[in-house]
């Protein structure tokens, strides 16, 4: 089979497919330029739909990846905030122990009994205040961690939503392209000029 015969065979098959798609046989008459123009426009509509669908998918995929990354960062920040709260509490407790030791040293050097009266009250109050500050540091760290964990959950939901919107965008592009191709195929200007 020669190249020209192969081309004619392909052209005949393309005409059959187009005719079946339009629901009519030989709707364009004998003028091949009408067939070429309408077929080209149909193919372009389908290609545009495919490109639009791919772009919608890639955009949604990139947005989902960004949201997943943000979720991981927020999760890491939650762990860091909790650890920072624990570290700060330990620092406060260490500082409080030094303050209590300085108070005992001061009381002892002045001859004050450490386990009775005002000296004991001052030491107990200092210990209480120090522990309250340490607990406040833990609470602050855990509150920050909770906020970061909530942000992480929100980012994971955004990732899922982005993927779902991408699928909707793909479907929308395909349906739009098919609709455009159908309108072109049904255009009476290409049927019998």
120-172 pLDDT per residue, tens: 889 899 999 999 999 999 999 999 999 999 999 999 999 998 888 888 888 88
Count of domains observed in the chain: 1
* pLDDT beyond 60 at 29: no
* pLDDT beyond 70 at 70: yes
* pLDDT beyond 50 at 193: no
Residue ranges making up the domain that contains 159: 3-190
pLDDT of 144 reads 94
Higher pLDDT, 69 or 12: 69
Q: Is 117 exposed, middle or buried (0-12, 13-18, 19+ CB in 10 A)?
A: exposed
pLDDT of 191 reads 52
The model's confidence at residue 192, banded by pLDDT at 50, 70 and 90, is very low
* pLDDT beyond 60 at 58: yes
Quote the CA–CA distance of 7 and 161 in Å, as a whole number: 48
Query: Which residues fall within 8 angstroms of residue 42, CB to CB, at 6 or more apart?
Result: 18, 21, 181, 184, 185
* pLDDT beyond 60 at 190: no
Query: H or E segment at 62?
Result: helix 32-109
Could you tell me how far CA 104 lies from the centroid of its own chain?
57
Determine contact, residues 145/81, Cβ cutoff 8 Å: yes
pLDDT of 138 reads 94
The backbone region for 24, taken as left when phi is positive above 0, alpha when psi lies in -120 to 50, beta otherwise, is: beta
pLDDT tens digits for range 72-115: 999 999 999 999 999 999 999 999 999 999 988 988 888 888 88
């Amino acid at each position: 089979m020669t190249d020209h015969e192969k081309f004619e065979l392909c052209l005949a098959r393309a005409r059959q497919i187009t005719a079946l798609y339009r629901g009519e046989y030989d709707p364009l008459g004998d003028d091949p330029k009408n067939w070429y123009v309408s077929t080209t426009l149909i193919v372009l509509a389908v290609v545009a739909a495919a490109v639009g669908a791919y772009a919608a998918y890639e955009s949604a995929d990139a947005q989902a990846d960004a949201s997943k990354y943000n979720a991981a960062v927020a999760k890491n920040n939650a762990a860091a905030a909790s650890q920072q709260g624990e570290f700060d509490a330990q620092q406060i407790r260490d500082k409080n122990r030094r303050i209590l030791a300085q108070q005992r040293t001061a009381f002892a050097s002045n001859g004050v009994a450490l386990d009775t009266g005002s000296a004991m009250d001052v030491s107990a109050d200092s210990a209480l205040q120090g522990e309250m500050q340490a607990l406040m540091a833990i609470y602050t760290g855990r509150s920050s961690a909770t906020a970061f964990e909530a942000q992480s959950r929100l980012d994971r939901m955004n990732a899922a939503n982005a993927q779902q919107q991408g699928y909707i965008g793909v479907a929308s592009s395909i349906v739009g392209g098919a609709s455009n191709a159908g309108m072109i195929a049904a255009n009476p200007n290409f049927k019998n000029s």
